[in-house]
Structure 1
Amino acid sequence: MAQNYRRAKLRGKSFKGQDLTGADFSYCDIRGTDFTDAILRGANFSHARAGLQRRWAITILISALLLSAVSGLLSAVGGSLLGFIVVNGNRENIYVAVISCIVLLLFFLITMRRGVAAACGFLAVAVVCAGVAAVVWAGVVAVAWVGTGTQTRVMELSAIVTVVIIGAVAVIVAATGLVVIAGAAVVAGAIAGLFVVAVTVAMAGAVAGAVVVAGAKVGGVTAGAPSVIVAVLTLILSAEVSCRALFEDEKQSWLRNIAFGLVTRRGTSFQGSDLTDADFTQAILKNTYFIKSILTRTCWFQAKKLNIADIRTTYLEDENIRQLLITKDLQNKNFDGWNLQGINLQGANIRDASLVAARLNESNLQNADISRANLTKAQLDRTDFRGAILTGAYIGDWGITPETKLDGVQCEYIFMYVPTKDNPNPYRVPANWEETFKDGEFTQFINPSSNVSKI
């Protein structure tokens, strides 16, 4: 007998590895609940509330704010180091400062154009190259000075190497500030939204501003200017990068995945669970962990905040597929060649949609309105059409099998081909335009073992 937990408060409970087939969790509070590796086939989670428990949400949020503050300090310190290199003013120092600024600027540009992961890769290569160049340079200079016998030259060489190291450290510190501020903002945003993103970046800015003022007092305007520029750029880019990551910019997916992985680990976990035919209608799924879950024919109709759940390794990663599963509105849209295998479109509006050569194997299309849809060459092995409306659909060469479920299909007539200029009235069944299929006649007419395009 299926277990009934309807409207229960199950915060922080563990159902790890349990068989909960057909269980009713509708309207439950399942924040922080652990369903790892559970069998939840046909379970009802409609209107359930998943995500983080309040204490963990507050803890993670405070940690993100503190981390952002520390990172604001780092960004300002990086700029200050570049300023102090310039203040000490000889030619070699200026060269190092200019090269460091160029590397940092390129890091910022790559962050925006290619994403944080690509920018970090560039920075690693740049720092290694700078280190090798410094060693080679020091070696060449040392050879040139051999025999001079002066302690002064050795001290000059040491000073040059020190400046190069300071420049590299300055770039790394400033870049780290940007990445961590953006990451902290994504974490905060995943919990409380864009307002907290702004608060997180503002806190980093306040700390950075304090460091900039202190640096200016010590080193003057010359030292303070680079610090101001680096801090301001870092804050602006951090806000931009974090917002893009929250709104699923593919270029910032690396940062988003790390941030969401940290947050959802303490949220509701369905890791590795079997959610075949489960129902999440109108459930709130913020900060929920679905890594490696089995989501065959799972219903997501009007599910809320699924975009801020950890849905890596599932078909929900595709924003387009996610949206059509939430809205179930495919009318007049083109899905030619799409992989829609194992999804739940029960009761969906698929009127006039184009699904040429789409993969719909094992999908649930019960009671869907598929009137006038183009199903030419669609793959429909074990697809469930029970109760669906197929009137006026184009079914030439569709790939039904004996396991395709067609019981109760409502269909007055179908076409074997799509209209063209040469053939504006494609082969209609029944052939007489005044006739229609009687109840159950379409199901009898379709024989999965035959090629319907030859009828």
Structure 2
Amino acid sequence: MAQNYRNAKLRGKSFKGQDLTGADFSYCDIRGADFTGATLRGANFSHAQAGLQRRWAFALVIFALLLSAVSGLLSAVGGSLLGFILVDGNRQNVYVTVISSIILLIFFLISMRQGVAAGCGFLAAAVIGCGLAAVVWAGIVAVAWIGTGTQTRVMELAAVVSVVVTGAVAVIVSATGLVLISGAAVVAGLIAGLLAVALTVSVAGAVAGVVVVGAVKIAGVVAAIPASVVAILTLVVSADVSSRGLYQDEKQSWISNLALGLVTKHATNFQESDLTDADFTQARLKNTTFKKSILARTCWFQAKKLNLADIRTTYLKDEKIRQLLVTKQLQNQNFDGWNLQGINLQGANIADASLVATVLNESNLQDADFSRANLTRAQLDRTDFRGATLTGAYIGNWGITPETKLDGVKCEYIFLCVPTKDNPNPHRLPSNWEETFEDGEFTQFTRTSSKFSTI
């Protein structure tokens, strides 16, 4: 007998590995519950509230703000180090500052355009390359000075090397500040939205401002200028990176995946569970994990905050597919050639849609409205059309099989071809335009006519 947990408070409970087929979790509070590896076929999670428990959400937001403060400190310190190099004002120091600034600027640009991961890759290569070049150059100079007996020159070389090291440290520290601010902002955003992103970046900015003021008092305006520029650029770029990461920009997947892994660690967990035919209608799913879950014919109608769940290994990672499953509004849209196998569009409005050669095998299309939809060459093996409306649909060479469920289909007439200029009145069945199918006649006809089925 299916278990009934309706309206229960199940925060933090463990159902790991249990057989909960057909269980009723509707209107439950399942924040922090663990369903890892559970069998949840046909389970009802409608109107359930999943995700993080309040104490974990609060703790993670505080952690993000503290991390952001440290990150702001790092970004300003990195810029201040570049400023301190300039205080001496000799030619070598200016060269090091300019080269370091160029490397840092390129890192910022790559991080915005290609993603933080690509930016870090460039930075590593640039720092290693510059370091090797500096070592080789220092070696050549040292060899040239051997035997001169000039201690002053050795001291000069050591000073140059220390400046180069300081420049490299400044670049690395500033870049680290960007990565940490972006990560902290995404963590906060996943929990509390864009306002939390703005607050996190603002905290970093406030701390950076304090450091810049300190740099002015210590070394004057010359040191404060690079510190201010680097801090401002870091904040601007981190705001852009974190916003893109929060909204799952593929280029910022590295930073968003790290943040998502941290946030979902203590949230509702459906990892590797079997959710075939489960129902999440109007469920709140922010920060919930669905990694490696079986989601065949799972219902997501009007599910909330699904874009903030860990859906990386499921069909839900495709924003367009996710949107149509949540809204079930497909009218007048084109899905030609799409792979929609095993999805749930029960009761969906698919009137006038184009589904030419679309893969709909094993999908739940019960009670959906396919009026005038183009199903030419659609793949429909084991697809459930029970109760669907197919009046006026175009079904030439559609790929139904004996396992396709057509019981209770509502259909007054269908067409075998799509209208064209040469054939404005495609082959209609019934062929007499004054006649319509009787109840059940269309289903019976498709089972007995080779024109309609691929068996």
Q: Which residue of 2 aligns with 1:33?
A: 33
Q: Which residue of 2 aligns with 1:97?
A: 97
Q: Which residue of 1 aligns with 2:221?
A: 221
Q: Which residue of 2 aligns with 1:398?
A: 398
Question: Matches of 2:119 and 2:435 in 1, distance apart?
Answer: 66
Question: Matches of 2:219 and 2:319 in 1, distance apart?
Answer: 50
Question: Matches of 1:449 and 1:225 in 2, distance apart?
Answer: 81
1:322 maps onto 2:322 in alignment? yes
User: Which string of whole-angstrom CA distances, capped at 9 and with x for unpartnered residues, describes residues 137-183 of structure 1?
Assistant: 11221222222121222221111111111111101110110111011
Deviation, 1:265, is: 1.1
Contact 1:353 1:374 in 2 (8 A): yes
User: Which string of whole-angstrom CA distances, capped at 9 and with x for unpartnered residues, describes residues 177-223 of structure 1?
Assistant: 01110110110111111111111111111111111111111110000
User: Which string of whole-angstrom CA distances, capped at 9 and with x for unpartnered residues, describes residues 242-301 of structure 1?
Assistant: 112112222212211110111011100000000000000000001100100000000000
Q: Residue 79 of structure 2 aligns to which amino acid in structure 1?
A: G
Question: Matches of 1:453 and 1:314 in 2, distance apart?
Answer: 31
Structure 2: 5+ residue stretches without partners: none
2:377 aligns to what SS in structure 1? coil
Deviation, 1:448, is: 7.8
TM-score (norm 1): 0.98
Structure 1: 5+ residue stretches without partners: none
Q: Which moved more, 1:323-332 or 1:257-266?
A: 257-266
Tell me the number of residue pairs that the alignment of Structure 1 and Structure 2 aligns: 454
User: Which string of whole-angstrom CA distances, capped at 9 and with x for unpartnered residues, describes residues 382-409 of structure 1?
Assistant: 1100000001111111111111111111
2:329 aligns to what SS in structure 1? coil
Q: Which residue of 1 aligns with 2:363?
A: 363
Q: Which residue of 2 aligns with 1:135?
A: 135
1:407-418 alignment to 2 at 5 Å? 407-418=407-418
Deviation, 1:452, is: 2.5
User: Which string of whole-angstrom CA distances, capped at 9 and with x for unpartnered residues, describes residues 280-325 of structure 1?
Assistant: 0000001100100000000000000001011110000000000000
User: Which string of whole-angstrom CA distances, capped at 9 and with x for unpartnered residues, describes residues 58-87 of structure 1?
Assistant: 111111100000000000000000001111
Q: Which residue of 1 aligns with 2:58?
A: 58
Deviation, 1:88, is: 1.8
Contact 2:411 2:437 in 1 (8 A): yes
Q: Which residue of 2 aligns with 1:18?
A: 18
Q: Residue 210 of structure 2 aligns to which amino acid in structure 1?
A: A
Question: Matches of 1:33 and 1:426 in 2, distance apart?
Answer: 55
1:9 aligns to what SS in structure 2? coil
1:165 maps onto 2:160 in alignment? no
Q: Residue 120 of structure 2 aligns to which amino acid in structure 1?
A: C
1:71 maps onto 2:56 in alignment? no
User: Which string of whole-angstrom CA distances, capped at 9 and with x for unpartnered residues, describes residues 39-70 of structure 1?
Assistant: 00000000000010111111111111000000
1:95-244 alignment to 2 at 5 Å? 95-244=95-244
Contact 1:86 1:223 in 2 (8 A): yes
1:420 maps onto 2:423 in alignment? no
Q: Which residue of 2 aligns with 1:347?
A: 347
Question: Matches of 1:294 and 1:121 in 2, distance apart?
Answer: 35
Q: Which residue of 2 aligns with 1:261?
A: 261
1:310 aligns to what SS in structure 2? coil
Question: Matches of 2:252 and 2:411 in 1, distance apart?
Answer: 47
1:295 maps onto 2:295 in alignment? yes
Question: Per the alignment, do residues 159 and 178 of structure 1 end up closer, same or farther by CA in structure 2, a change over 3 Å counting?
Answer: same
Q: Residue 67 of structure 1 aligns to which amino acid in structure 2?
A: L
Q: Residue 265 of structure 2 aligns to which amino acid in structure 1?
A: R
Q: Which residue of 1 aligns with 2:84?
A: 84
1:309 maps onto 2:309 in alignment? yes
Question: Matches of 2:408 and 2:199 in 1, distance apart?
Answer: 56
Give me the CA root mean square deviation: 1.2
Question: Matches of 1:200 and 1:451 in 2, distance apart?
Answer: 63
Question: Matches of 1:19 and 1:325 in 2, distance apart?
Answer: 26
Question: Matches of 2:327 and 2:304 in 1, distance apart?
Answer: 11
Deviation, 1:453, is: 8.1
Q: Which residue of 1 aligns with 2:452?
A: 452
2:447 aligns to what SS in structure 1? coil
Q: Residue 200 of structure 2 aligns to which amino acid in structure 1?
A: T
Question: Matches of 1:49 and 1:344 in 2, distance apart?
Answer: 21
Question: Matches of 1:421 and 1:120 in 2, distance apart?
Answer: 57
2:227 aligns to what SS in structure 1? helix
Contact 2:446 2:453 in 1 (8 A): no
Q: Residue 426 of structure 1 aligns to which amino acid in structure 2?
A: P
Contact 1:351 1:373 in 2 (8 A): yes
Question: Matches of 2:337 and 2:131 in 1, distance apart?
Answer: 51
Q: Residue 123 of structure 1 aligns to which amino acid in structure 2?
A: L
Q: Residue 391 of structure 1 aligns to which amino acid in structure 2?
A: T
Question: Matches of 2:45 and 2:451 in 1, distance apart?
Answer: 41
1:178 aligns to what SS in structure 2? helix
Q: Residue 230 of structure 2 aligns to which amino acid in structure 1?
A: V
Q: Residue 239 of structure 2 aligns to which amino acid in structure 1?
A: A
Contact 1:71 1:181 in 2 (8 A): yes
Question: Matches of 1:254 and 1:64 in 2, distance apart?
Answer: 17
Contact 1:400 1:448 in 2 (8 A): no
Q: Residue 179 of structure 1 aligns to which amino acid in structure 2?
A: V
Contact 2:362 2:381 in 1 (8 A): yes
Q: Which residue of 1 aligns with 2:439?
A: 439
Q: Residue 5 of structure 1 aligns to which amino acid in structure 2?
A: Y
